[in-house]
Structure 1
Amino acid sequence: MTTHAPAAPIAARTAPARSRALALAVLCAGMLMIVLDGSIVTVALPAIQDDLHFSPADLTWTVNAYLIAFGGLLLLAGRLGDLIGRKQVFVAGLVLFTAASLLCALATGQGVLIAARFLQGVGGAMTSSVSLGMIVTLFPEPRERGRAIGAFSFVGAAGASIGQVLGGVLTEALDWHWIFLINLPLGLAAALLAVRVLEGDRGPGLRAGADALGAALVTGALMLGIYTLVGAGEHGWASARTLGLGALSLALLAGFLLRQARAAQPLLPLRMFRSRDVSGANAVQVLMVSGLFAFQILIALYLQNVRGYGAAATGLAMLPAALAIGTVSLVLSARLNARFGERPVLLAGLGLLVVALALLTRLPADADYVLDLLPTMLSAAGFGLAISALTALGMSGAGPADAGTASGLFNTTQQVGGALGVAVLTTLADGRARALTAAGQPAAEALTGGFRLAFAVAAGLLSVALLLAATVLRPGVNAADSQAG
C-alpha cells in the first residue's frame, strides 16, 4: 500500500523557488568539495610518497585515515543533524574540512598529513551525512525532488572523475600541496553562503534522543570494520588480525542492532528497514560501489603502471566517463525516473555497468584507448542512471524527523561498499599479478592479468546487484511517494 510523505517543514513548503535553488547549489558545492578531495588525492599519491618519504604500506594511510573517519561517523553525524539542526552540522563540517585541508597542505611530515586526513574525514562525514536529508525537506514535491536528487547525484558521480583530472593537472603543473589548498576558497565560500542561504532547522535537541550507547557501538563497529577491510590486503584475509578484528566489529554491530530494537529513542530506527525499497537500495549500493572501485582505481593504475600514462594524462583519459555520467545524471535521470519510475531506470543503469566491466575482462596489456577503453568510459553513463534512482529509493523512507539519519545511512553503505571494493579487488589483482610474475610472464602482462581478474569479480558483483534490484525492489512504485511502514 502506497502512502504519502509527511508534510515538509513550513520553511520548505513556502520558500521561493529561487531560494531553494540557491540552497541546492550550496549543498551541491559542499558535496563537490568532499567528492573532489576523495578522488583528487589518488593521482597525487606517488608525488606525496616521494616528497614525504612514505613506505608503500604507510602511504595507504593517507587514504585509509580519511575512509575510517568518514565512513565511521556518517550515521552519528546524520542523527546529530536531526537533533541539533542539519544546517549547523553542515556548516560545522565545512569549516572543519576546510581547516583540515589547510593542515594537509602545510604538512611536512607523515604523521601530520595522516592526522589531518582523519580530520578531513570527520568534516566530510558531517557535511555529507545531512545533505540528502536537507534536499528531501527542501523539495517535498516528487518531480522537483527528482530533479534536485539528479543534480546532487551529478555532483557525486562526475565530481569523482573530474577530481582525477584536476589532481593530475595540479600535481604536474604545481605540486601536491595544491590539491588541498584548492579547498580553501571553495570551503570558505560554501560555508559563508550556507549561513546566509540555508534555512534554520533547529531540532529538538540532544535530550530528545542522542542514544550515546548506540552511537558508541555503531561508530566503533564501522571504524573498526573499515580499518579491518583496508588492512586485510596487507595482513591477509585469513590472518588472526583480520579475523579477530572482523569478529569484534561484527559483535559491536550486533550489539548496536540489539540496542536499536530496545531503545526508546534509537539512533537508527529499525522501522526504516521495513521498506523493501530502502533496504534493497542500500544493499544494492554496497555491491555496486564495491564493483565500481575496479573502474575508478584499477583503471587509473592500469593506465599509469602498464600503459605509462602520467598523472594528467590519466585524468584526461577518464574524462569521457565523467562527461557521460554527468550528462546522464543531470539531463536525463530525473526525467526518466519521473516517467518510468526509479526501479526500471536503476535496472537499465546497472545493466550498462555490467557491460562496462565485462568489456574490461578482455583488456590487453597493449590496449588501444579508442578501441579497448573508450567503450567502457562511455558505458559508465550507467552510473549516472543508477545513482540517481538508487538515491531516491534509499531516501524513500525518510520523513522530516529522520531525514538526516536516512541520509547518513545511505552515505554509510556507500563508504562501506567503497572500502570493501578497495580491499577485495586490489588484493585479488595484486595476488594474481604476483602469481603470473612467478610463472614467468612479463611485468606488463602479469599486471594486466591481475586487473582482468579484478574486473571479472567486479562484473560479478554488479550482476548480483542487478539481480537483487530486480527481485527485491518493488515494481511500479515511485520512491518519492513510498514511505517505510
Structure 2
Amino acid sequence: MSPAISGSRPDVGVGGADEGGAMHSHHHPDTAPPAHAGGALKRLKRLLLLLCVAQLMVILDISAVNVAMPDMARSLGIAGGDLGWTITSYSLIFGSLLLLGGRAADLLGRRRMFLTGLGVFVVASLAAATAGSPAMLFSARAGQGLGAAMLSPAALSILMGTFREGTPRAHALAAWGAVGGAGAAVGVLVGGALTELVGWQAIFVVNLPIGLALGVAARRMIPADTAAPDWHGLDLRGAALASGSSAALVFALSQAADAGWTSAQTLGLGGSGLAGLAAFVAAERRTARPLLRLERLADRGVGGGLLLMLVAAAALFGTFLLVSLYLQDVLDAGPLTTGLAFLPLAVALGLGVHAGNHVLMHAGVRMPMAAGFAATAGGMVLLSGAGVGGSYLADVLPGMLVAGVGLGVVLVCVSVSVMTGAEDEETGMLSGLTTTGHEIGGTIGVAVLATIAAAPAGAASPAGLSLGLGDAFVAVAGMSAAAGVVALVVLPSAAILLPKLALAPRVAIH
C-alpha cells in the first residue's frame, strides 16, 4: 500500500495498522466485544451516509437546475442562446478535472481533498444564489464544478478505502449507485418544488446548511491524513492534457445541437480534443507516475465497465432530458408537476440497484448487466409510443418504471465492475475515471438525443416535438440493446470476478 495515502483511511475500516505498523486483515467476532462491534458497524453506516449525502448534493445541483432554467432566464435576462451555459459551465469544469481530482485524492490525501472540494462547492453555491448577472451565474456554476471535481472522487475513494471486504464493499457501492441514479430524479423533484414555491435561488441556498453540516461531520468521522501531501507525484503534464482535451470534447458536444454537428466549431474542438487524448495516452506511457495507469484499461472489468458507463450515463441523462421535454413542452406540465412525475423513476432506480446488488453477488456482473440493458431498451420502446395526445399514466409511467429498474441494475454493476480489485493507491484514480465516464457519457447522450429530438420538421410544435422524441427514445433503445450484447462479450465472467470481489481484506474492528 502506498504510504502517501495510508493515513487517509478511517480507523473503523480497511483492516488498518496498529501502532507498530503491523497490518491487520482479521475479523474475529469471538475476540471483539459485541457492543464494540455494533458501535463500529454504526460508525461505518454513518460514514457511508455522510459520503452518499455529499454525492447527492453534487448530483442534485446538476438535475435540479434543468427545471429551474426558464425562471433563471427571466430573472437574470439570459438570452436563449446562452441559457445552456447554466449547465455547460458546470459540466465543462466538472468533467474535465475529474481525473486530476481522483489522482489528487490518492496523493494529497482523501480527507484533504474532500473538505477542500466541499468548501469550494459551498462558497460557489452562495455565489450562484446571489448572482446578479448571467456572467456571475456562469462563473459560480464553474466554481461548483471545480468543487465537485475534488469532492466526488475523494468521497468514492474514501468509500473504497473503508469498505474493503467483498460483500460490504458491494453494498456500499450499491448505495453509491443508487445516489447517482435516483438522486438525479430526486433533483428534478427538489428543483421543481423549490423553484415554484420559493424561487430558483433556493436550489443553491440549500447547499449552505447541508455543506456546513457535512463539513462538521466529516472532520469528526474521517480521520486526518497523517501522510504529507505528495505534490511531486502529481502528473501535471498528463493533467493538463487530460483536462484540456476533456474540456474541448465536453464543450464541442454540449454545443453541437445549436452549432451543428458539422460546424467548424464542433469538428475543430472535437478533433482537437481527440488529438489531445491521443497525446495524453502517449505521454502517460512514458511517465513514471502517470495520472492514469493505462494498463488498467486492459482489465476487462475496468475497460469494459468504463465503456458501458458511457452508455449507461447517456441513457440516464437522455431519459431525464427527453421525458422532461415531453412533460413540459408536449403535455404542458409545470416545474413542480414535472418534478413529481420523476419520483417513480427514482423509486424504480433504487429497486434496480437493490436487485442488481443482490444478483451480482452470486452471478457476477456480466449477465445482470446484459439483463439491465435489455430492460432499459424495453422501457425506451414503451416511451417511444408517447404521442401528442398521450398521457403521463398511460404513455410515460410504464416505460419509465421498466427503464428505471434496468438502469439501476446497470449502474451498480458498472461501479462494481470497475472498482473491484482496485489497489489502495489507485482507488482515487479509478473513482475519477468512473465519474469521468459518467459525465462524458451524459454529455454525449444529451447532445446526440437533443439533436435527434429537434430533427423533424415542425419540432417547435408539440406534434413535431413528440415525433422527434419518439425517434430519440428508439435511438436509446437501440444503444441499450447493443450495450447488452457488448456486456456479454467484454465483461469478465462470474468465475473471474467473484473471487476478486471476495479477496479484499476483511474489515477489522478495533
- Fold shared by both chains (TM-score > 0.5): yes
Equivalents in 2 of 1:203, 1:130: separation in Å?
A: 16
Does the 8 Å CA contact 1:436/1:449 hold for their aligned counterparts? no
Q: Which amino acid aligns with 2:364?
A: G
The share of aligned pairs that are identical, in percent, is: 36
| Residue of structure 1 equivalent to 2:470 | 452
Deviation at 1:205, TM superposition (A): 3.3
CA spacing shift, 1:225–1:418, aligned 2, 3 Å: same
Within the alignment, does 1:461 sit opposite 2:479 as a pair? yes
Q: Give 1:71's aligned residue.
A: 95
State the partner residue of 2:437: 413
CA positional deviation for 1:381: 1.3
Tell me which amino acid in the other structure corresponds to 2:350: G
Q: Mind listing any 5+ residue stretches in structure 1 that lack a counterpart?
A: 1-5
Residue number in structure 2 paired with 1:287: 311
Contact 2:10–2:223, Cα closer than 8 Å, also in 1: no
Q: Could you tell me which residue of structure 1 aligns to residue 381 of structure 2?
A: 358
Moved more, 123-132 or 211-220: 123-132
2:392 pairs, out of 369, 376, 386, with 369
Shift of 1:291: 2.4
Q: Which structure 2 segments of 5+ residues have no match? A: 1-5, 17-39, 502-510
Offset of residue 147 of structure 1: 0.9
Mapping for residues 32-111 of structure 1, pairs under 5 Å: 32-111=56-135
Which residue of structure 1 lines up, in the alignment, with residue 138 of structure 2?
A: 114
Deviations 1:295-322 (A, max 9, x none): 1111111100110101000111111111
Residue in 1 that maps onto 2:202: 178
AA matched with 1:344? M
Partners of 2:443 and 2:10 in 1: CA distance: 39
Contact 1:9 1:400 in 2 (8 A): no
Q: Distance in 1 between matches of 2:312 and 2:288?
A: 34
The whole-number CA distance in structure 1 between the counterparts of 2:498 and 2:423 is 11
Whether the 8 Å contact between 2:10 and 2:222 is mirrored in structure 1 is no
Determine the C-alpha separation between the residues in 1 that align with 2:317 and 2:56: 19
How far is 1:162 from its partner? 0.7
- 1:35 and 1:459 map into 2 onto residues whose CA distance is 24
Distance 2:225 2:458 in 1: 58
SS in 1 for 2:167: helix
Helix, strand or coil: the match of 1:101?
A: helix
The SS at the match of 1:238 is: coil
The one-letter code of the counterpart of 2:322 is: L
Once the two structures are TM-superposed, the CA of residue 332 in structure 1 deviates from its matched residue by 3.0
Rounded Cα–Cα distance in structure 1 between residues aligned with 2:258 and 2:362: 47
Report the equivalent of 1:3.
none
CA distance in 2, matches of 1:163, 1:398: 31
- Displacement of 1:201 in angstroms is 4.0
CA–CA separation in structure 1 for the residues paired with 2:137 and 2:498: 42
TM-score normalised by length of structure 2 = 0.89
Residue 450 of structure 1 aligns to a residue whose secondary structure is helix
Residue of structure 1 in register with 2:255 after alignment? 231
Structure 1 residue 349 corresponds to structure 2 residue 390: no
Matched, 1:472 2:495: no
Distance 1:207-1:121 versus aligned 2 partners, 3 A rule: closer
- CA shift in 2, pair 1:43/1:363, >3 Å: same
1:337 aligns with 2:337: no
In structure 2, distance between residues paired with 1:478 and 1:170: 47
Shift of 1:20: 1.9
Deviation at 1:202, TM superposition (A): 4.9
Q: Is the 8 A contact 1:90 1:127 kept in 2?
A: yes
Q: How many residue pairs were aligned?
A: 471
- d(CA) in 2 for partners of 1:210 and 1:373? 48
Which deviates more from structure 2 when the two are superposed, residues 355-364 or residues 99-108? 355-364
> What CA deviation, in whole Å up to 9, does each residue of 1:378-402 have, x standing for no partner?
1111121111111010112421001
Matched, 1:156 2:180: yes
Q: 2:448 aligns with which of 386, 410, 424?
A: 424
Contact 1:342 1:389 in 2 (8 A): yes
Q: Is the deviation greater in 57-66 or in 123-132? A: 123-132
Q: Which moved more, 1:204-213 or 1:154-163?
A: 204-213
CA distance in 1, matches of 2:425, 2:226: 11
Distance 1:9 1:436 in 2: 57
The change in CA–CA distance for 1:202 and 1:336 in structure 2 (over 3 A counts) is farther
Aligned to 2:218: 194
Matching residue of 1:17: 41
Q: TM-score, normalised by structure 1?
A: 0.93
Q: Over the residues paired in the alignment, what is the CA RMSD in angstroms?
A: 1.9
Displacement, 1:328?
3.3
Task: Find the aligned partners of 2:490 and 2:95 in 1 and give their Cα distance.
Answer: 25
Is this contact kept in 2: 1:303–1:309, CA < 8 A?
Answer: yes
2:474 aligned partner, one-letter code: A
Shift, 1:478, TM fit: 6.2
State how far apart, in whole Å, the 2-side matches of 1:132 and 1:231 are: 30
Partner of 2:19: none
* Offset, 1:159: 0.9
By how many angstroms is 1:482 displaced?
Answer: 3.3
CA contact (8 A) 1:214 1:266 kept: yes
Alignment of 1:253-402 (within 5 A): 253-329=277-353, 331-379=354-402, 380-402=404-426
Q: What is the rounded CA distance, in whole Å, between the counterparts of 1:325 and 1:376 in structure 2? A: 13
Give the structure 2 partner of residue 443 of structure 1.
461
Equivalent residues of 2:9, 2:223 under 8 A apart: no
SS of the aligned residue for 1:455 comes to: helix
Residue 108 of structure 1 and its aligned partner are, at CA, apart by: 1.2
Give CA deviations for 1:83-136 in whole Å, capped at 9, x if unaligned.
011111011111111111111100111110000000000111111122222212
